[in-house]
Amino acid sequence: MPEPPAMRWWGWGEPGHPPALGADALAFLREHVGVADTPSLPVALGAVQVESSALSPDAAHALREVVGQQGIRVDHDERVLHAAGKGYPDLVRLRAGIPEGAPDAVLHPRDRAQVRGLLEVCARHALAVVPFGGGTSVVGGVSPLRGESHSAVVALDLGALRGILELDRESLTVRVAAGMRAPALERELGGLGLTLGHFPQSFEYVSLGGCAATRSAGQASTGYGRFEEMVTGLVLLAPAGDIDLPAIPATAAGPELRRMVVGSEGTLGVIGELSLRVRAAPATRQYEGAFFRDFASGVQALRALAQEHVAPAVARLSDEAETGMSLALAGSGGLKGRLGRSYLGLRGYGGGCLAILGFEGTAEEVEHRRKRALALLRRHEGLPVGQSPGKAWLAQRFASPYLRDELLTQGVMVETLETATRWSNLERLHREVGGAIERALAAQGTPGLVMCHVSHLYETGASLYFTFLARQREDAIEQWQAVKHAACEAIVDGGGTITHHHAVGHDHAPWLEREIGIAGISAMRALKQQLDPAGIMNPGKLLP
Amino acid sequence: MPEPPAMRWWGWGEPGHPPALGADALAFLREHVGVADTPSLPVALGAVQVESSALSPDAAHALREVVGQQGIRVDHDERVLHAAGKGYPDLVRLRAGIPEGAPDAVLHPRDRAQVRGLLEVCARHALAVVPFGGGTSVVGGVSPLRGESHSAVVALDLGALRGILELDRESLTVRVAAGMRAPALERELGGLGLTLGHFPQSFEYVSLGGCAATRSAGQASTGYGRFEEMVTGLVLLAPAGDIDLPAIPATAAGPELRRMVVGSEGTLGVIGELSLRVRAAPATRQYEGAFFRDFASGVQALRALAQEHVAPAVARLSDEAETGMSLALAGSGGLKGRLGRSYLGLRGYGGGCLAILGFEGTAEEVEHRRKRALALLRRHEGLPVGQSPGKAWLAQRFASPYLRDELLTQGVMVETLETATRWSNLERLHREVGGAIERALAAQGTPGLVMCHVSHLYETGASLYFTFLARQREDAIEQWQAVKHAACEAIVDGGGTITHHHAVGHDHAPWLEREIGIAGISAMRALKQQLDPAGIMNPGKLLP
């Protein structure tokens, strides 16, 4: 099995990934957002500043006793590779060569026993431990933070804990080592006619343990469920001991401990193994577009799809702003005909909203569901516009993080954030969060573009996913913080959850208490105190 | 709104419920199980022995300060009504007039504030608190247990906390006070064209808070989901404070606290409110029967239904023994034709297994799903036998607990227990648990009938629901304990969960550690210690 690929230390994707920001897009950005006069490239890797490792010789010796010389790395480059996740502020800092910090060592255990041994050493030597899977967190989930009581901080890279440990075809259940990457699992399952069906935007690099730790939801979660719904069993290696929960379909034996571990973001221990529900790979995939006269009618159509149980696996609705930008960028790039402004304008959909619908399943399932779904959409004056928008979306479904790197090069701030709420509150929250971001951008003197889509449908509500772009200021981090803060306040004030699938990490921790209350925070702290009595696991994340 | 109905103190149903055990059934029992020479009836209510209330005058005074004179009852009859749940040993003891104990007082708070006030008084006076909803637990979940440190034990009857607090039609979400009974909610929702879709066998008396506390799964859970999947928000009134989680469709904000409260069985606090996902009431219901040549082929058919996503809302498969008894009891009672032994015998299904399939939804949904489901069944040599078995099942879906009372009158022990496991382990677990029960019955000198059905289908597995009947011995409790113990051991040894929908209560607590490990138990204890520092909430339940 090949090693998990290492991403560019300063951004997304592997070295050599071709650029994708075309001339049209750049012109659009220049007109609507503003770009830098000269592109700014990342510093050289060797120029990235990290303090010298604070790991004591005693601690280093004890760690080596567990994982050997090869299992512990303290060199500059490896530390930089584990210095941050892939959030906007992470990238701004890395490209400038001044990350907030770096782990004092990177540990590479090869099996569960070594993880257990490392946790014991770390507890004894007061080393903060940051579990590190794909390193794709966009909320500071893998930042190398340490508390005042920690002598140093180590990244625990789980890349070597990978592979399928057991496949139960009859029960459609697979047990994997948690460091396994999502594409590797999909490849192996694909060869057997199976799929997990979990495709977050970070799919190409994400680890399965990371998906569990962050309660990830993939782009096709409307069809395949959220990651937590796929987890039928797991092993948590906590400093205080193992929690080993076998794969069972359902139980009433007390509170659901699986759901206590899923979402714990490395603060309770290391997720070592996962049992996951898999499905037959879809024989048919049909992705297509539909237009709505406005956001409100599109939302009502999506609600009907979810509540009448005919939603496709992927269902997304861009608001007017996101639709406008998609069309502008696609306009001269190939998408013509039914996506042309003139065609839409003639039909009365000129300022409308584009939805992407992705049906997956057997040919018969797709045919039946699609027929019923399209009938529902027509009730809401939805206008089918063929497969080209669907195909374009599929082709680009993992592209945004690559694009972000290029936007940073052009001096453009780009960030995404997300929430979820009930249907009855969705349009109001859309307005309020969008408005808050716009006002914050304007207050920073950098008005830009704010757009949003609805995705991840549930019977009772859906998620809202916002993107904003603006000209990057000199003080890029403060600029970002101001906008992010305003958005988070608007989300929590407006009745949304602080995160639907990005997790809490470091960035959202200040808002968690507003969502679950002081008693909820206390309950989580009690759990942590029990499972991680020395407080070494991922300090500064999740809990405020 | 009418008061929630009070059940017969010694059994199921309201006073005056007509008997249902016909002459045929009695003859069948006499032949295959053995019945008592003379029926044994419950003692008179006044003859039930309870110790005098241990509630101190100080504590009583403080409780009265919160709920007034009417809110606290210490009379004999009220204490007997709250002395036990509805498990087999509960009924044996109650009928004999010698319950294991009774609460020293029964509290009837009228709102959340009174519950909060009562919890504070109980913590101050070291009163153990047993939250009491419908009182239908079959695992000792409402037994009036107290620990050594408690001065007395009170039942906290939530019957007055009822009604719909908020209906969000657009989001298909209803917020209710947790003492509300399931039938009352279904009645109100039905008037609006909606349904919750939660129909446990205890439906007629169960409270919604009780369903949440025990992670209940209704008979139609294959279609409508388990109760925990319906809970989108809740309020837990814990001694240490309120956890108030609003209704949201999904979140990635840390571990799922909703799922930490659901299943906590009153040990963390009192569930005061619930936000529940509802659905459009089904326009069409079609319930029917199908025969399989044997249990194994029926199981494979059900697995295909679940894994190919065409399972009906209700799907159950009786094993040969349960099918045999159903046919024997139905034989001369009306079900003829395609259910007759001669017809089935001619077709090669003589010793086969009966499945009940209940399709619900719009007419179009039912037609489409049923067509695909029946095609799948035929692949497994399933033989459709028409609607009469389905109608008979629907008519009798809540009847078993009434029948149990009559069996007790006839001196017959009858008990049910349940588990769930992966499809690949289902047949083996069926054999092993069934065998363990048979051997235990034989060892007690009372060989009887052991039967089982599969129900509650999931993609990765299903539940097994066992029923056994035997001649009751003099030492009925010891006899039951021996068989129950053997069954629980076989379940846990065989890789099943100790409970799929009956919950842990007192009866299953000794097996919980085998399922979730010592670290899992410790985590739950830490949670309890935080939320219930004085340890007053439902002692002796859930945690061993």
The distance of A347 to chain B (nearest Cα, Å) reads 29
Q: How far is CA A67 from CA A30, A117, A236, A350, in A?
A: 51, 9, 20, 62
Instruction: Give the sign of the dihedral formed by CA A329, CA A332, CA A337, CA A342.
Output: positive
Q: Is the pTM of this model over 0.95?
A: yes
CB atoms within 10 A of CB B314: 27
Q: By CA distance, what is B247's nearest residue in A? A: A422
Q: What is the pLDDT of residue B204?
A: 97
* Domains recognised in chain B with CATH numbers: 42-157 (3.30.43.10), 164-280 (3.30.465.10), 284-394 (3.30.70.3450), 400-500 (3.30.300.330)
Q: What is the pLDDT of residue B19?
A: 86
Q: Which residues of B touch A173 (CB under 8 A)?
A: 422, 460
pLDDT at A3 over 50: yes
Q: Which residues of B touch A261 (CB under 8 A)?
A: 255
Q: Which residues of B touch A248 (CB under 8 A)?
A: 420-422, 461, 496-497
Average pLDDT for A402-421: 97
A residues 342-371 closer than 8 Å to B (CB): 364-365, 368
Element (H, E) at B528: helix B509-531
The token pair at A224 is 């395949």
B residues 488-507 closer than 8 Å to A (CB): 495-504
Of B172, B368, B531, Cβ closest to residue A459: B172
Q: Which residues of B touch A465 (CB under 8 A)?
A: none
pLDDT at A354 over 70: yes
CB atoms within 10 A of CB A533: 12
pLDDT tens, position by position, B295-341: 999 999 999 999 999 999 999 999 999 999 988 877 544 455 566 76
Strand A279-280 and strand A284-292: the pairing is unpaired
Element (H, E) at B449: strand B449-457
Of A248, A522, A531, Cβ closest to residue B530: A522
Cβ–Cβ below 8 Å for B254 and A261? no
Q: What is the pLDDT of residue A45?
A: 97
Cβ–Cβ below 8 Å for B531 and A519? yes
Confidence of residue A90 (pLDDT cuts 50, 70, 90): very high
CA separation for the pair B412, A278 (Å, rounded) = 45
> Which stretches within A201-294 are classed as H helix?
208-213, 221-224, 227-230, 257-261
CB atoms within 10 A of CB A77: 12
* Buried b / exposed e along B275-288 (16+ C-beta atoms within 10 A): bbbbbebbeeebbb
Q: Which residues of B touch A506 (CB under 8 A)?
A: none
Residue B207 is classified by DSSP as: B
Q: Three-state SS across A384-443?
A: ECCCHHHHHHHHCCCCHHHHHHHHHHCCEEEEEEEEEEEHHHHHHHHHHHHHHHHHHHHH
Cβ–Cβ below 8 Å for B255 and A259? yes
Q: What is the pLDDT of residue B332?
A: 47
Q: Which residues of B touch A302 (CB under 8 A)?
A: none
Cβ–Cβ below 8 Å for B499 and A459? no
Confidence of residue A48 (pLDDT cuts 50, 70, 90): very high
Residue B475 contacts A, CB cutoff 8 Å:
no
Q: Three-state SS across B456-514?
A: EECCCEEEEEEEEEEECCCCHHHHHHHHHHHHHHHHHHCCCCCCCCCCCCCCCHHHHHH
- Looking at the DSSP bridge assignments, the partners of residue A222 are none
Q: What is the pLDDT of residue B333?
A: 45
Q: Which residues of chain B have pLDDT under 70?
A: 1-4, 331-339, 341
Q: What is the pLDDT of residue A24?
A: 86
CB atoms within 10 A of CB A514: 14
Cβ–Cβ below 8 Å for A421 and B248? yes
Q: What is the pLDDT of residue B329?
A: 78
Residue A440 contacts B, CB cutoff 8 Å:
no
Confidence of residue A339 (pLDDT cuts 50, 70, 90): low
Cβ–Cβ below 8 Å for B262 and A249? no
Residue B323 contacts A, CB cutoff 8 Å:
no
What is the radius of gyration, based on Cα positions, of chain B? 23
Q: Which residues of A touch B461 (CB under 8 A)?
A: 171, 248-250
- Average pLDDT score over chain A: 95
Cβ-based neighbours of B396, under 8 Å, separated by 6 or more: none
> Which stretches within B160-226 are classed as H helix?
182-190, 208-213, 221-224
Cβ-based neighbours of A57, under 8 Å, separated by 6 or more: none
Q: Which residues of B touch A503 (CB under 8 A)?
A: 252-253
Matching residue, tokens 């959030």: A87
Cβ-based neighbours of B366, under 8 Å, separated by 6 or more: B282, B284, B285, B286, B359, B360
Q: Three-state SS across B380-392?
A: CCCEECCCHHHHH
pLDDT tens, position by position, B39-65: 999 999 999 999 999 999 999 999 999
Matching residue, tokens 């199981």: B299
Of B173, B245, B259, Cβ closest to residue A516: B245
Residue B265 contacts A, CB cutoff 8 Å:
yes
Q: What is the pLDDT of residue B348?
A: 78
Confidence of residue A350 (pLDDT cuts 50, 70, 90): confident
DSSP string, B312-368: -SEEEEE-HHHHHHHHHHHHTTT--GGGSHHHHHHTT-TT-EEEEEEEEESHHHHHH
pLDDT tens, position by position, A437-484: 999 999 999 999 999 999 999 999 999 999 999 999 999 999 999 999
CA separation for the pair A246, A267 (Å, rounded) = 22
Q: Best interface-test mutation with A: which of B360, B422, B531 has the largest number of A CBs within 10 A?
A: B422
Element (H, E) at B287: strand B284-292
Residue B536 contacts A, CB cutoff 8 Å:
no
Cβ–Cβ below 8 Å for B253 and A459? no
Strand A279-280 and strand A241-245: the pairing is unpaired
Of B228, B252, B308, Cβ closest to residue A499: B252
- Looking at the DSSP bridge assignments, the partners of residue B120 are none
Q: By CA distance, what is A509's nearest residue in B? A: B253
The distance of A263 to chain B (nearest Cα, Å) reads 4
Strand B152-157 and strand B105-107: the pairing is parallel
Of B171, B255, B498, Cβ closest to residue A524: B255
How many contacts does A have with B, using Cβ atoms within 8 A?
Answer: 288
Identify the CA nearest to A280 among candidates A165, A181, A361.
A361
Cβ–Cβ below 8 Å for B252 and A502? yes
Of B251, B462, B502, Cβ closest to residue A497: B251
Average pLDDT for A42-47: 97
Q: Best interface-test mutation with B: which of A168, A201, A257, A376 has the largest number of B CBs within 10 A?
A: A257
Residue B326 contacts A, CB cutoff 8 Å:
no
Of A277, A303, A542, Cβ closest to residue B254: A542
- Average pLDDT score over chain B: 95
* Buried b / exposed e along A372-398 (16+ C-beta atoms within 10 A): bbbebbeebbbbbbeebbbebbbeebb
Percent of chain B with pLDDT over 70: 97
Of B496, B502, B517, Cβ closest to residue A243: B517
Cβ–Cβ below 8 Å for B250 and A458? yes
Q: By the 8 A CB rule, do A436 and A487 touch?
A: yes
B residues 157-196 closer than 8 Å to A (CB): 168, 170-173
Residue B238 contacts A, CB cutoff 8 Å:
yes
The token pair at B527 is 């949670």
Give φ, ψ of A24 to 5 degrees: -60, -45
- Looking at the DSSP bridge assignments, the partners of residue B350 are none
pLDDT at A2 over 60: no
- The gap from C-alpha A127 to its chain's centroid, in whole angstroms, comes to 27
Q: What is the pLDDT of residue A517?
A: 97
Strand B241-245 and strand B231-238: the pairing is antiparallel
pLDDT at A345 over 80: no
Confidence of residue A332 (pLDDT cuts 50, 70, 90): very low
pLDDT at A52 over 60: yes
Identify the CA nearest to A417 among candidates A34, A89, A11.
A89
Cβ–Cβ below 8 Å for B243 and A517? yes
Q: By CA distance, what is A521's nearest residue in B? A: B243
